[in-house]
């Protein structure tokens, strides 16, 4: 490890141990972060990253170990104490009030007062603008948070911490909600912060990101530090192995596909968004049996509405959808499902699961009314239980039992419940909407393998993903969606060109217009970035 | 509490502690009422005397037990009318109106079958009440499903509407001469009478049957699965191919049917529909449902508890000279503590559960988009 030995690290966590009944969430964890360093904390879901950060932020008391700031041992009693000591936390789920302005959100809890009664809004605005300027993201303090894009909302969160004079910033999976472009922008902000001497703890399980942004990487597995690496001396495979504890196939064996007749045909489909705008504008494509067709595109280009129209959750206003030769455009969700349409939704907690229901009930959520799960209207609990046991085993769902609420499972295992339910042998078409969002490498590997297997069994798969690498990894053909239209349809690897697709995603293949593009945030837009995602694969 | 409770003890803890706290709060009022109202000596033991006679009045002899069951009967039904709705994510405040319409319909049907044999007249009149109550539940269910009108608003308005229409009709078209006050004709053989020398009547048996019936419906059938899925996550229900709108209408109609039966039982016990039929069983149903955690078994026990307080109150008034209205206070305070579950957990230093349960339905923000 480099750096002057004279000055103690900005933050040192020594031998942190935190036990919960039955588990050791953190076992003698050592972590040190220097001033001006971006330190990545890498680990699978449930590895103990969050617990460690909760200890740092005063949300959990460690059973053993100590925390030193600038070499001085400190006791962090609660989040207010942590903030006072210059520790700022940017949560994965933003803690913002949508109807308030940027300035009001930032002031909440750290009110700058003119006197004992009134806020000093002018001074607050001045400081916000100044901070924004200093770190390279000028923001309108009077913009309402609800009108900002997700990327800018995250910057408001960062500003909130900076406004409270945080010098150690913890970012919990900051890129999980961002588009590739926004990720690039946020990375620029983080680098600027580090250059100014801030210490940044960057929590993630995305390997390429960590390699790109971090100065140092600490990998945690099952509550223990299993290694610390410099990005220059490691790679994705090495990190994945450290993280999972075994060799991981980052690139699944895709093999060759044998596509036959089209099973899902979409013709001139037109769909309106909730706001009444036509966001799918005359989309046509066909998915053939035994192939994976990917839809690449920056989030918000009509993919959600397209998927909802195909699966029956939303009425289309024009065009047709055919499933294995039958016109299903006016069919209900259930009719489509009964005729062989499977669907892994993009938002698993909103659409995919009833979190309060047991794992077994979630496994039969779409077929509870059929034999053998029901006789007439009476449920056949024994059959449901037996089915659930089988699926839990087959899909390696980590759960204490079939009878626990699905909400108690980790994200990866929740997704496995959905996959176990939707990936059935009799499918004609399977729609996968962001099937691996927020999942760790092990779960991603598993789901990708399942998808390839299902394809080889003769199912036509439509994959929608904001992760271009995932699309490139799995798809036999790739359609690029831009502003509600399919602007290109290209063959997948090895012919597919990542830079070319990235450019199509960002610009639709046209010369970039000089006016402000799609984003409604009213914020400065960076030039379309073609290197959607760096790193090797 | 959407799925079956993990530990039964934890599940009943908050309701039980709420009752305890309510009894403590009421104790203060009982002591005060002795001093202020009756100008008696300060008697710190008065609450114990009062609660003792309350207990004796409710369970001390066969007649007391019978009275408890009879008082609990309509509460069980209105408790189900609110509780089953909560399972579907609906807050039915309209039990009051559904009770009135059900009772009125039972009175009208009852007069038509007044001369029929008892075993025909009673069920037919009750069926009239059930159907009318279902209609009163169907309307807000339909409005919610197809216009998004919040059921809390529509049921409150329907309560007033039904009450005025029914009392208008009793005062005018259906008024029978020969009485000093407006009332409908007698229901004759459709009237509910006690048997075995007690006040227990056929309606009580009907109500007791409704408890396992709703348990079976909610937990053992596909329809109940859909009701619970729609209540717990309407978007996931839609995604799974269920029909949230249809379930809303069905559930509200079912809730109305339970309340309608409660109204029918109360009216058939009386034998006619009076112009002024004041009853609190509709709103008491809310307390019963929340105290029972919207679970049929819980509703059974909480209805029996509130029924016992009603049945035991007269003896308490006689022996301890504590006004019966203290029962309303206890009931109200229980409701407050249930609604403020966090307060109860804070007082007894209980861990908060992540799931807010049925209360979420009540505190959830209005104006949600109706899916389906």
Confidence of residue A107 (pLDDT cuts 50, 70, 90): confident
Chain B residues with CB under 8 Å of a chain A CB are 1-4, 220-223, 225, 228-229, 232-233, 235-242, 354-355
The residue-averaged pLDDT of A313-341 equals 94
Residue-wise DSSP of B12-57: HHHHHHHHHHHHHHHHHHHHHHHHHTT-----TTHHHHHHHHHHHH
Label each residue of A233-282 as H, E or C.
HCCHHHHHHHHHCCCCCCCCCCCCCCCCCEEEEEEEEEEECCCCCEEEEE
Question: What is the spatial distance between Cα B85 and Cα B92, in angstroms, rounded to a whole number?
Answer: 6
Nearest to A312 by CA among A342, A348, A354: A342
Cβ–Cβ of A377/B2 closer than 8 Å? no
| pLDDT at residue number A508 | 79
Could you report the predicted ipTM of this complex, rounded to two decimals?
A: 0.84
Token output for A528:
């379309």
Cβ–Cβ of B241/A350 closer than 8 Å? no
A154: left (phi over 0), alpha (psi -120 to 50) or beta: alpha
A38-43 vs A216-221, strand pairing mode: parallel
Shortest distance between the Cα of A25 and any Cα of chain B, in A, equals: 20
Cβ–Cβ of A352/B236 closer than 8 Å? yes
Nearest to A354 among B220, B229, B354 (CB): B229
Q: Which residue has the higher pLDDT, A431 or B4?
A: A431
Q: Chain B residue closest to A312 (CA)?
A: B239
Which residues of B are less than 8 Å from A313 in CB distance?
A: 238-239
Cβ–Cβ of B2/A345 closer than 8 Å? no
| pLDDT at residue number B3 | 41
Cβ–Cβ of A333/B223 closer than 8 Å? no
Token output for A113:
């007062």
Cβ–Cβ of A357/B355 closer than 8 Å? no
Cβ–Cβ of B225/A407 closer than 8 Å? no
Q: Kindly report, residue by residue over A81-92, the tens digit of the pLDDT.
A: 999 999 998 887
Within chain B, residue ranges assigned H as helices are: 8-36, 46-59, 62-87, 95-112, 118-147, 151-171, 202-220, 222-232, 234-239, 244-270, 281-291, 296-320, 326-339, 341-347, 359-363
Angle at which helix B244-270 crosses helix B281-291, to 10 degrees, equals 120
Q: Kindly report, residue by residue over A256-306, the tens digit of the pLDDT.
A: 888 889 999 999 999 998 888 899 999 999 999 999 999 998 778 899 999
User: Across all residues in chain A, what is the average pLDDT?
Assistant: 85
Nearest to A353 among B222, B223, B236 (CB): B236
Strand arrangement, sheet containing A460-465: A341-344, A429-433, A460-465, A292-296, A477-482, A485-491
Shortest distance between the Cα of A352 and any Cα of chain B, in A, equals: 6
Cβ–Cβ of B221/A379 closer than 8 Å? yes
Cβ–Cβ of A379/B237 closer than 8 Å? no
| pLDDT at residue number B37 | 66
Which residues of A are less than 8 Å from B236 in CB distance?
A: 350-354, 365
Cβ–Cβ of A369/B239 closer than 8 Å? no
Q: 3-class SS at A479?
A: strand
Nearest to A162 by CA among A118, A203, A122, A196: A196
Confidence of residue A310 (pLDDT cuts 50, 70, 90): very high
User: How many percent of chain A have pLDDT more than 70?
Assistant: 93
Q: Chain A residue closest to B219 (CA)?
A: A379
Shortest distance between the Cα of A435 and any Cα of chain B, in A, equals: 16
Which residues of B are less than 8 Å from A377 in CB distance?
A: 221-223
Which residues of A are less than 8 Å from B88 in CB distance?
A: none
Q: Kindly report, residue by residue over A443-502, the tens digit of the pLDDT.
A: 888 899 999 999 999 999 999 987 788 898 899 999 999 889 999 999 887 777 878 888
Strand arrangement, sheet containing A199-204: A87-90, A168-172, A199-204, A38-43, A216-221, A224-229
Cβ–Cβ of B225/A313 closer than 8 Å? no
The alpha carbon dihedral of A335, A338, A344, A350 has a sign of positive
Within A48-149, residue ranges assigned H as helices are: 49-56, 79-84, 102-107, 121-134
Q: Kindly report, residue by residue over A513-532, the tens digit of the pLDDT.
A: 444 444 444 333 333 333 33
A38-43 vs A199-204, strand pairing mode: parallel
| pLDDT at residue number A288 | 95
**Local confidence pLDDT in tens for the 372 residues of chain B:** 334 444 556 678 888 888 999 999 999 988 888 777 666 777 788 899 999 999 999 999 999 999 999 999 999 999 999 999 999 999 999 999 999 999 999 999 999 998 989 889 999 999 999 999 999 999 999 999 999 899 999 999 999 999 999 999 999 888 888 888 889 888 888 888 888 788 889 999 999 999 999 999 999 999 999 999 999 999 999 999 999 999 999 999 999 999 999 999 999 999 999 988 878 899 999 999 999 988 999 999 999 999 999 999 999 989 888 888 889 899 889 888 887 776 677 777 666 554 444 445 554 434 344 444
How many Cβ pairs closer than 8 A exist between chain A and B? 72
Cβ–Cβ of A334/B241 closer than 8 Å? yes
Token output for A145:
């948070």
Question: What is the spatial distance between Cα B105 and Cα B191, in angstroms, rounded to a whole number?
Answer: 14
Cβ–Cβ of A357/B239 closer than 8 Å? no
Cβ–Cβ of A354/B237 closer than 8 Å? yes
Nearest to B3 among A313, A337, A356 (CB): A356
Nearest to B303 by CA among B95, B72, B78: B72
Cβ–Cβ of A378/B221 closer than 8 Å? yes
Shortest distance between the Cα of B16 and any Cα of chain A, in A, equals: 23
Q: Chain A residue closest to B221 (CA)?
A: A378
Degrees (nearest 5) of the Cα angle A417, A420, A425? Answer: 165
| pLDDT at residue number B354 | 41
Nearest to A356 among B2, B225, B238 (CB): B2
Question: What is the spatial distance between Cα B123 and Cα A309, in angstroms, rounded to a whole number?
Answer: 49
| pLDDT at residue number B38 | 64
Task: Please provide residue B210's backbone torsions phi and psi, each rounded to the nearest 5 degrees.
Answer: -65, -25
> How is residue A350 annotated by DSSP?
I
Task: Please provide residue A64's backbone torsions phi and psi, each rounded to the nearest 5 degrees.
Answer: -140, 165
Cβ–Cβ of A357/B223 closer than 8 Å? no
Nearest to B125 by CA among B63, B82, B183, B188: B188
A173: left (phi over 0), alpha (psi -120 to 50) or beta: left
Which residues of B are less than 8 Å from A368 in CB distance?
A: 222, 225
Which residues of B are less than 8 Å from A334 in CB distance?
A: 241-242
Chain A residues with CB under 8 Å of a chain B CB are 311, 313, 332-334, 337, 343, 345, 350-358, 361, 365-366, 368-369, 374, 377-379, 381, 405, 407
| pLDDT at residue number B86 | 93
Cβ–Cβ of A357/B3 closer than 8 Å? yes
Cβ–Cβ of A365/B229 closer than 8 Å? yes
Q: Chain A residue closest to B357 (CA)?
A: A356
Rg of chain B taking only CA atoms, in angstroms: 21
Q: Chain A residue closest to B236 (CA)?
A: A351
Nearest to A150 by CA among A186, A200, A117, A113: A186
Cβ–Cβ of A332/B241 closer than 8 Å? yes
Nearest to A333 among B3, B228, B241 (CB): B241
Question: What is the spatial distance between Cα A156 and Cα A145, in angstroms, rounded to a whole number?
Answer: 8
């Amino acid at each position: 490890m480099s750096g002057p030995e004279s000055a103690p690290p900005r933050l040192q966590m020594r031998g942190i141990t935190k036990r919960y009944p039955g588990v050791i969430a953190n076992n003698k964890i050592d972590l040190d972060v220097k001033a001006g360093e971006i330190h990545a904390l890498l680990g699978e879901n449930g590895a103990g990253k969050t617990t460690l950060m909760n200890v740092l932020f005063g949300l959990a008391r460690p059973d053993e170990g100590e925390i030193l700031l600038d070499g001085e041992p400190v006791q962090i009693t609660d989040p207010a104490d942590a903030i006072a000591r210059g520790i700022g936390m940017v949560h994965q789920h933003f803690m913002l009030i949508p109807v308030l302005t940027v300035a009001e959100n930032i002031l909440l809890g750290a009110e700058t007062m003119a006197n004992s009664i009134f806020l000093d809004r002018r001074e607050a605005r001045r400081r916000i603008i100044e901070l924004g300027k200093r770190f390279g993201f000028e923001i309108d303090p009077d913009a309402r948070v609800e009108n900002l894009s997700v990327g800018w909302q995250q910057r408001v969160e960062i500003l909130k911490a900076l406004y409270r004079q945080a010098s150690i910033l913890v970012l919990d999976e900051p890129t999980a909600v961002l588009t590739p472009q926004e990720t690039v922008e946020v990375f620029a902000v983080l680098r600027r912060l580090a250059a100014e001497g801030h210490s940044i703890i960057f929590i993630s399980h995305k390997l390429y990101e960590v390699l790109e942004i971090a100065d140092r990487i600490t990998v945690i597995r099952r509550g223990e530090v299993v290694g610390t690496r410099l990005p220059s001396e490691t790679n994705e495979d090495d990190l994945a192995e450290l993280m999972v504890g075994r060799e991981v196939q980052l690139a699944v064996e895709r093999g060759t596909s044998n596509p036959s007749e089209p099973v899902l045909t979409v013709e001139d489909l037109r769909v309106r968004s909730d706001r009444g705008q036509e966001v799918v504008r005359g989309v046509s494509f066909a998915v053939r049996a035994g192939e994976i067709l990917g839809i690449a595109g920056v989030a918000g280009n009509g993919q959600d509405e397209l998927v909802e129209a195909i699966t029956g959750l939303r009425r289309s206003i024009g065009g047709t959808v055919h499933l294995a030769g039958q016109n299903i455009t006016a069919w209900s969700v259930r009719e489509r499902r009964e005729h062989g349409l499977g669907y892994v939704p993009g938002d698993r907690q909103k659409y995919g699961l009833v979190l309060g229901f047991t794992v077994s009930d979630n496994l039969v959520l779409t077929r509870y009314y059929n034999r053998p799960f029901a006789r007439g209207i009476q449920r056949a609990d024994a059959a449901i239980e037996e089915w659930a046991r089988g699926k839990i085993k087959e899909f390696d769902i980590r759960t204490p039992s079939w009878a626990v609420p699905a909400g108690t499972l980790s994200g990866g295992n929740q997704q496995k419940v959905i996959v176990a339910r939707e990936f059935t042998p009799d499918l004609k078409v399977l729609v996968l909407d962001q099937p691996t969002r927020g999942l760790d490498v092990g779960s991603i590997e598993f789901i990708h393998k399942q998808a390839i297997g299902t394809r080889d069994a003769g199912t036509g798969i439509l994959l929608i993903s904001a992760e271009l690498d995932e699309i490139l990894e799995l798809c036999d053909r790739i359609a690029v969606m831009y502003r509600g239209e399919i602007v290109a349809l290209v063959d997948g690897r090895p012919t597919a060109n990542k830079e070319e697709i990235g450019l199509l995603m960002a610009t639709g293949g046209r010369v970039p217009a000089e006016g402000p593009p799609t984003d409604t945030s009213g914020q400065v837009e960076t030039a379309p970035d073609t290197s959607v995602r760096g790193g090797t694969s | 509490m959407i799925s079956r409770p993990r530990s039964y003890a934890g599940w009943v803890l908050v309701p039980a502690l709420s009752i305890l706290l309510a009894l403590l709060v009421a104790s203060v009022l009982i002591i005060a009422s002795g001093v202020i109202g009756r100008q008696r000596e300060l008697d710190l033991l008065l609450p114990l005397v009062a609660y003792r006679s309350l207990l004796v009045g409710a369970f001390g002899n066969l007649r007391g037990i019978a009275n408890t069951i009879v008082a609990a009967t309509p509460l069980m039904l209105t408790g189900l009318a609110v509780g089953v709705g909560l399972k579907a994510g609906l807050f039915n405040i309209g039990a009051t109106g559904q009770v009135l319409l059900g009772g009125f319909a039972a009175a009208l049907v009852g007069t038509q079958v007044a001369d029929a044999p008892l075993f025909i007249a009673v069920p037919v009149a009750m069926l009239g009440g059930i159907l009318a109550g279902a209609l009163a539940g169907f309307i807000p269910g339909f409005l919610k499903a197809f216009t998004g009108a919040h059921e809390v608003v529509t049921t409150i308005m329907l309560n007033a509407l039904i009450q005025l229409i029914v009392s208008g009709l009793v005062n005018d078209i259906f008024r029978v001469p020969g009485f000093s006050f407006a009332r409908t004709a007698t229901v004759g053989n459709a009237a509910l009478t006690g048997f075995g020398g007690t006040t227990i009547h056929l309606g009580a048996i009907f109500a007791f049957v409704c408890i396992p019936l709703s348990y079976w419906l909610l937990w053992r059938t596909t329809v109940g699965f859909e009701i619970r899925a729609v209540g717990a996550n309407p978007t996931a229900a839609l995604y799974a191919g269920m029909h949230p709108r249809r379930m809303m209408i069905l559930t509200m109609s079912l809730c109305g049917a339970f309340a309608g039966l409660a109204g029918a039982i109360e009216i058939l016990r009386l034998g006619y529909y009076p112009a002024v039929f004041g009853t609190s069983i509709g709103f008491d149903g809310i307390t019963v449902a929340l105290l029972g955690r919207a679970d049929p078994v819980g509703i059974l026990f909480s209805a029996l508890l509130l029924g016992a307080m009603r049945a035991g109150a007269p003896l308490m008034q006689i022996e301890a000279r504590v006004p019966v209205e203290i029962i309303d206070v206890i009931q109200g305070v229980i409701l407050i503590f249930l609604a403020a579950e966090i307060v109860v957990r804070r007082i007894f230093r209980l861990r908060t559960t992540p799931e807010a349960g049925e209360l979420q339905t009540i505190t959830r923000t209005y104006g949600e988009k109706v899916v389906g």
